[in-house]
């Protein structure tokens, strides 16, 4: 949870930059508290997946026996 949700009187809406597709300057869009909690849950799930992927790649590099094997490890 985020700090505002810990308050006894959290805000009822939040403005965050939001776009369904990647873009240079996304618009500022109003979200409800429920929507913000979902955004944070989605962000945490994405971050956890990236951390797991990174850990797997580190393990591949550490197990590699040759330079070529290390160079074959890529983030895709």
Per-residue pLDDT at 6 exceeds 90: no
Q: What pLDDT, on the 0 to 100 scale, is given for residue 3? A: 59
Looking at the chain, list the stretches that DSSP marks H as alpha helix, in order from N- to C-terminal side: 33-63, 67-71
pTM, rounded to two decimals: 0.71
Q: What pLDDT, on the 0 to 100 scale, is given for residue 11? A: 81
Q: How many CB atoms lie within 10 A of CB 17?
A: 10
Q: What pLDDT, on the 0 to 100 scale, is given for residue 70? A: 98
Q: For residue range 24-73, what is the model confidence (pLDDT) as tens digits?
A: 999 999 999 999 999 999 999 999 999 999 999 999 999 999 999 999 99
Chain-centre distance of CA 60, in angstroms?
23
């Amino acid at each position: 949870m985020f700090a505002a949700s810990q308050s006894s009187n959290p805000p009822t809406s939040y403005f965050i930059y939001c776009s369904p597709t990647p873009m240079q300057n996304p618009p500022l869009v109003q979200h409800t508290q429920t929507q913000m909690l979902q955004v944070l849950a989605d962000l945490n799930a994405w971050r956890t997946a990236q951390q797991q992927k990174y850990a797997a790649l580190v393990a591949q590099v550490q197990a590699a026996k040759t330079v070529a094997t290390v160079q074959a490890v890529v983030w895709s």
